[in-house]
Amino acid sequence: MIEIEEANKEEQNIKCKHQKISKSHKRPIIITAIILFSLVIISILILYFAGIPIIKYKGENTETIEYGEIYIDKGINVYTKFKNISNKVIVESNVNTSKVGNYNITYKVPYFNDYKIYTRTVNVVDTKAPSINLTGDTQYNLAYGTEYQEPGYTATDDYDGDITDKVVVTQVDVDKNNFEKHYTVSDSSGNSFENIRYIKITDDVAPKITLNGDSVISILTGSTYNEQGATAIDNKDGDLTKNIQISGNVDTSKNGTYLITYSVSDSNGNKTAVQRKVIVDKTQSTGIIYLTFDDGPSNTITPKILDILKEKGVNATFFIINYNDSTEQIVKRAVNEGNVIGIHGYSHDYSKIYTSVDACYDNIIKLQQKIYNSTGITTKVLRFPGGSSNTVSKKYCKGVMTGISQKVLKEGFKYYDWNVMSGDSGDVKTKEAVYNNVTKGIKPGRNNIVLMHDFSGNNKTLEALPGIIDYGLSNGYRFDVITTDTEMVTQKIQN
């Protein structure tokens, strides 16, 4: 029992010690809280009796607003001796949202006989990026071999206005058939913008096949046909001669006209084909002669040429220009006697007809309609003034010959240059010179298109013509007129 009582006493002593320790720890915390509360009360009393204003900002002390937006000051709340005197605050502001910058709003708060000054900072910023507008399409097709021409662009910014002169253009090559133009610009606030134009290099030009030898060959029945082949050049792929496919055959044991076709495709699938005509005949002609006369009709020369043609039993092709009432009968006579009237052009004035593709085409159509009105025939055979290879047209419109040649073919016309020149519109002065030029230029086994003129006063050609016809007939040539079925003889376009 004694031991139990002693144990209980010991336990009670321990509890008392713990209670004393706990009280000793809580005492400093309570004292600190009392001191802080007292200080707050004292501060409030000091502020009250001293009349010092208590300020509370509505919103942030520093605010940011976008350029061009309307700024409304939120103001401040002011208390003195527990009274709200906000209505007595004088507010001064220089905030200008039309100009980027830092501005201050000043609040003058009454304090005894003076004011205490408080401020709010307002930052007017420009965070909107400028814009770039591209002229033309953003997907741009560029023909292979041509130079990229910038369609243009403009750049504007809400704050800076027109900043087109600050645009930087760079090129990014994607692959051999594609590249990009990147347009970037930054405004005075450092906001940037980029636009992109995507350029695809296209190739829609078919290769060009050139026959080795003549396009029309006449051989004797039973003889051997020797294939002369051809060459092919592509504007992008270069020499494609080895890719030419030759089809068709010539049976030299049978009379007939045979076609040999030469075809080739480039790497972009553009395909072209040309044909060679092989005439097999036991009495085959040496070749064909097409007599052509430009720049008529004339009252002095053309009727006499028609007389010679009629006498010799051959026909010719007349590429005429505009005519009047007196020469209209000559046009009708030419047609009635089996000759062909082709279009040279209503006008022969280069400075007028080669100013554009449309002007050149109108020059053709205008004469075509007049010929129809006179003869009832809609002719689609034509020769360009100066020929398709003329370069004088560059003086009036770059590329006009390329454009008009493509257009007339699309509209169903055929145009013809020449491969035999008489020289009668140049330095040649005598009938002998005209005769020699023509007879030396005529070659067997092909379509010989002879360039001559029937303008007024061209007596040298008139006088040489009978001999030229006799030469052709005696050497096995046959004479024919040009129609849209006649294989085109053209020169290389240089404009």
State the CATH number of the domain containing residue 467. Answer: 3.20.20.370
Does 372 share its domain with 334?
yes
- Mention every residue, 6+ apart, whose C-beta is less than 8 A from residue 316: 290, 291, 292, 293, 305, 309, 339, 340, 479, 481
101 occurs within a structural domain:
yes
473 occurs within a structural domain:
yes
Alpha carbon distances (Å) from 25 to 13, 31, 57:
19, 11, 41
323 occurs within a structural domain:
yes
Does 146 share its domain with 198?
yes
Does 273 share its domain with 214?
yes
- Beta strands 447-453 and 90-93 are unpaired
271 occurs within a structural domain:
yes
d(CA 203, CA 121): 63
d(CA 18, CA 334): 142
Does 430 share its domain with 316?
yes
Domain-terminating residue out of 202, 232, 259: 202
Domain-terminating residue out of 179, 202, 225: 202
Does 347 share its domain with 446?
yes
Please report, for the domain that includes residue 272, its CATH number: 2.60.40.10
Does 100 share its domain with 246?
no
Does 274 share its domain with 300?
no
Q: Which domain holds residue 418?
A: 287-479
Does 341 share its domain with 423?
yes
Does 215 share its domain with 276?
yes
- pTM for the model stands at 0.48
5 occurs within a structural domain:
no
Instruction: Give the up-direction half-sphere exposure of residue 323: CA atoms within 13 A in the CB hemisphere.
Output: 30
19 occurs within a structural domain:
no
30 occurs within a structural domain:
no
Number of domains in the chain: 4
Does 417 share its domain with 458?
yes
Domain-terminating residue out of 254, 280, 306: 280
43 occurs within a structural domain:
no
Does 198 share its domain with 214?
no
One digit per residue, the tens of pLDDT, for the chain of length 495 reads 445 455 556 556 555 555 554 555 566 777 777 777 677 666 656 655 556 788 899 999 999 999 999 999 999 999 987 789 889 999 999 999 999 999 999 999 998 888 999 999 999 999 999 999 999 999 999 999 889 999 999 999 999 999 999 999 999 999 989 999 999 999 999 999 999 999 999 998 999 999 887 677 777 777 778 888 999 999 999 999 999 999 999 998 888 889 999 999 999 999 999 998 887 876 556 789 999 999 999 999 999 999 999 998 899 999 999 999 999 999 999 999 999 999 999 999 999 999 999 999 999 999 999 999 999 999 999 999 999 999 999 999 999 999 999 999 999 999 999 999 999 998 889 999 999 999 999 998 889 999 999 999 999 999 999 999 988 887 778 899 999 999 999 999 999
